[in-house]
């Protein structure tokens, strides 16, 4: 069984993570087991969730 993928958009210039498409955002998609660890890493390095 394939793991569900989660998607977010990353604006590296403004250090923003969004769960909806944003201008200047780069879409990332990862398996759920990797996604939340990746997101926590961004938050720990100063990113904000929008």
For the chain, what are the domain ranges?
5-49
Q: Please check the confidence at residue 21 and state whether its pLDDT lies above 90.
A: yes
User: What is the C-alpha to C-alpha distance for residues 46 and 30, in angstroms, rounded to an integer?
Assistant: 20
State how far the Cα of 37 lies from the Cα of 14, in Å rounded to an integer. Answer: 21
> What's the whole-model pTM score?
0.87
Q: Is the pLDDT of residue 35 over 80?
A: yes
Q: Would you say residue 17 has pLDDT above 90? A: yes
Q: Report the alpha-carbon distance of residue 25 to residue 16 in Å, rounded.
A: 9
Q: What is the pLDDT of residue 3?
A: 86
Mean pLDDT across the chain: 95
* Residue 41 CB partners (closer than 8 Å, separation 6+): none
Residue 2 has pLDDT above 90, yes or no: no
């Amino acid at each position: 069984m394939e793991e569900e993928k989660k998607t977010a958009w990353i604006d590296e210039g403004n250090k923003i993570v969004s769960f909806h498409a944003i201008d200047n955002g780069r879409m990332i998609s990862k398996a759920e087991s990797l996604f939340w660890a990746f997101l926590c890493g961004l938050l720990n390095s100063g990113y904000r969730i929008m």
